[in-house]
Amino acid sequence: MKIKFPARAVQRQGYIVLKETNPAGKELIEKLFSKKTEMEKRNDHEYFLHVVLELKYQKRTFKQNSSVWVLITAIFESMEGRLPDEDEKYALYLDLLEEYADKTPSRLNGKLRSVHISESNSMEGARFIDGLLFHLANYCDLTYDTQVTVNDVMQEWHEWRGGLEKDPMDYADLECTKLLTEAQWRERHPVSEASGKSSSIELAHIVSRGSDAADIGEAWNWLALLREEHMEQHQIGWDRFLQVYPHLRGRVARARKLAGKAELGFMRGRESVGYSTERLAMDAQRAIGSN
């Protein structure tokens, strides 16, 4: 079984101590160690957990096409309790296109047809992927392994969008010149951009009303969060909040830049006493190679 949760690793007295940074992971950790204790008592034997630390620092290009098929597979597995064959996967893809894809006039008769992912531009692909994530959040009961897979896609999706000069999901036109109204934006953001969950969504301002009222109505300054996530962000601040949800850093950094605000700590590379995750990982790799 594959288990993933965001954690902070600290070395103390010869041990690596892992501390969860997302409250959602606490229950999973407690169950894991409870099961370990139960097995040790039952078998009179000590068990050790095999832990793999994954340092996510590689700059990867998000591929919309491959991600669509991962999400469609997850939807099918939720519906049928098994993996689809290629014909079943494509049939479900066509159904989901009708539900969530943008439409374009047919060259033959002028009737509207769905835009396939293979022919879509970045905005059309973005809307379809957001539709699939919405479907997963609202209509699918996923196994833990499938949840991990979907969460990985969601995080890569938001990381990619955060690295763009303009987020296509903030605009009403393909040229990204006309920002969405609040009503349009809310319609397009039915799930949390932090956790991917869909209950009690609130519009959170990256640059707050008190900090700069002029930017309060700009779509690039808005973030869809659960009510509890919104409250947590206000309580702990952006730097700590983005340690829990690092895939949102690009969006927050872009909004602060557009609003003319000072950089936050994570934007200045102060996550680990002056070392970025990339620098730490590269130093560790060099050290291993020299031994």
Residues 36 and 126 in one domain: no
Q: What is the pLDDT of residue 24?
A: 58
Cα–Cα distance between 13 and 59 in angstroms, integer?
A: 33
- pLDDT band for position 271 (cuts 50, 70, 90): very low
- Residues facing residue 202 across a β-bridge: 225
Helix, strand or coil for residue 233?
A: helix
Cα–Cα distance between 206 and 256 in angstroms, integer?
A: 7
Tokens representing 204 are 């959170």
pTM of the model: 0.69
Q: What is the pLDDT of residue 90?
A: 97
For residue 49, count other CB atoms closer than 10 A to its CB.
9
Residues 43 and 74 in one domain: no
- Given 117, 132, 162, which residue is the final one in a domain? 162
Residues 138 and 203 in one domain: no
- Given 54, 70, 93, which residue is the final one in a domain? 54
Query: pLDDT tens digits, residue range 274-286?
Result: 455 556 556 655 5
Q: What is the pLDDT of residue 290?
A: 54
Task: Tell me if 73 sits within 8 A of 53, measured CB to CB.
Answer: no
Task: Tell me if 169 sits within 8 A of 129, measured CB to CB.
Answer: no
Extended beta strands in 143-268, E state: 201-205, 222-226
Residues 35 and 65 in one domain: no
Report the pLDDT averaged over residues 241-256.
Answer: 92
Residues 47 and 31 in one domain: yes
Number of domains in the chain: 3
Helix, strand or coil for residue 231?
A: helix
Residues 31 and 75 in one domain: no
Task: Tell me if 114 sits within 8 A of 103, measured CB to CB.
Answer: yes
Q: What is the pLDDT of residue 72?
A: 97
Please give the C-alpha separations between residue 263 and each of 48, 252, 260, in angstroms, as whole numbers.
42, 10, 9
For 188, the domain range is 181-291
Query: pLDDT tens digits, residue range 202-216?
Result: 999 999 866 555 667
- pLDDT band for position 21 (cuts 50, 70, 90): low
- pLDDT band for position 83 (cuts 50, 70, 90): very high
DSSP assignment of 259-286, as one string? Answer: TTPPPPGGGGT-TBTTB-HHHHHHHHHH
Amino acid at 193: E
Which H helix or E strand runs over 178? none
Residues 207 and 139 in one domain: no
DSSP assignment of 125-147, as one string? Answer: HHHHHHHHHHHHHHH----HHHH
173 occurs within a structural domain: no
176 occurs within a structural domain: no
Residues 185 and 287 in one domain: yes
What burial class does residue 112 get, using C-beta atoms within 10 Å of its C-beta: 0-12 exposed, 13-18 middle, 19+ buried?
A: exposed
Q: For the domain that residue 145 is a member of, what is the CATH number? A: 1.10.8
- Top-ranked range on mean pLDDT: pick from 19-23, 133-137, 248-252: 248-252
